[in-house]
Amino acid sequence: NAGVTQTPKFQVLKTGQSMTLQCAQDMNHNSMYWYRQDPGMGLRLIYYSASEGTTDKGEVPNGYNVSRLNKREFSLRLESAAPSQTSVYFCASSETQGGTIYFGEGSWLTVV
């Protein structure tokens, strides 16, 4: 019963490098999300995908791109990493838009 699985769990990047965070869910959910969590700032929505084939910007999309590869997978890409993108990233999914959100375990990203 994996739920939402995201990789990698830890990553250190140099400024300007690119990387992709992978996420997959096995609950047959339609909607998927990427959040970032910074100390004292709660969770902020980066991008979301209401259903397969659609993606929309959230609260803090700048510097990121996403791909809804299929119903199961939703990836987050940093094209040119910046120190301000040092954060914990959470992938999440819900059965429908507006339904209960289930989170992955998080990916700790440090940009030096």
Site string for other proteins, 65-94 (x = CB under 8 A): -------------------------x-x-x
**95 binds other proteins, rule: CB under 8 A:** no
Nearest CA among 54, 55, 96 for reference residue 45: 55
**53 binds other proteins, rule: CB under 8 A:** no
d(CA 53, CA 68): 6
Q: Are 22 and 82 in contact (CB under 8 A)?
A: no
Minimum CB distance to other proteins smaller for 31 or for 75: 31
C-alpha of 69 from chain center: 13
Minimum CB distance to other proteins smaller for 18 or for 96: 96
